[in-house]
Amino acid sequence: MTTAAGFTDRSVADQSGKTFVVTGANAGIGLEIARVLALRGARVLMACRDIAKFQAAAADIRRTAPQSELAWLPLDLVDLASVRDAAAIVEKESHLHGLINNAGVMIPPLTRTQQGFELQFGVNHLGTFALSSLLLPKLAATPGARVVVTSSIAHIKGYIEWDDINAERTYHRAARYRSSKLANALHFFELDKRLRSAGSSVLSVGCHPGVAYTRLGRYMGIAQLAGPVVGLLLNTAAQGAWPALHAATGDVVPGGYYGPSGFAEMRGVSGAAKRSAGAMDPEAARRLWEMSVEMTGIDPGLAEAK
């Protein structure tokens, strides 16, 4: 439950009998999300690319939760074929209570996905859109299941370059990161509207981790070197996991957005978070949805909300 003081890992109720998929679960915030869910009795499908990294992460979790039910879910969001393969594996599970879209990349040099998309938009948004869409039938078969999409406080200054979505003409890596995080916010906003219009029991919920010191900032150069000092003022990875855990297991509203409640939403216990007006623009959300279907070739089959 969420107390007046806010939501933390201690607020997560018993999750015995439940199954969750956590993307990017081998390190950082994803590892901490998986750890808490496992400690509370859930079966956790840890989605990541490398089995050796999964094994190391699982061993880490089992040091404190030896009875953890953990499984490797091979997933590389750089390749939509891998996303389809992962979804096919999850389809074999008896049920799925939550998909926590945590994995992402941040401000790399210009790079492209296997399908040729700009990496940050391709991984952070299109990969998340594709996996969420493919798993909706499995989620819908489990009453009260949730899709959690991770955005960022960076979305507030984001804008989508509709006429250069694939960075064919210009590339500013920080701007493209902000754009991908705005896309995440628009995604869960539009998904919520369409799910509710369809009468689905699946909840679409958003979150952001604040500012946490993790490997996500490995392309930040000299700023990353100051991380151990700056990190004293920011969230740890474990604290950065609180909003996602809140979104996945706590008392939430459909389409709600959760993040740290401390100064400028950079750190602290999880509570209701602020969104930009652009993150709730119905026309932009509809346009992004249709573009995402076209780019991925994956249609969730949810009609536009009326």
Active site residues: 177
Distance CA 259, CA 156 (A): 14
List of residues 6+ apart from 91 with CB closer than 8 A: 137, 138
Find the angle CA(240)-CA(34)-CA(122) to the nearest 5 degrees: 70
Residues with Cβ within 8 Å of residue 80, at least 6 apart in sequence:
113, 114, 115, 126, 127, 130, 296, 297, 298
CA-to-CA distance for 4 and 11, rounded, in angstroms? 11
- CA Rg, the chain, in Å? 18
How many other CB atoms are there within 10 angstroms of residue 82's CB atom? 19
User: Residue 105 and residue 138: Cα distance in Å, rounded?
Assistant: 27
Residue type at 246? H
Question: CA torsion angle for 276, 279, 282, 288 (degrees, to 10)?
Answer: 150
Backbone angles phi, psi at 236, to 5 degrees: -80, 170
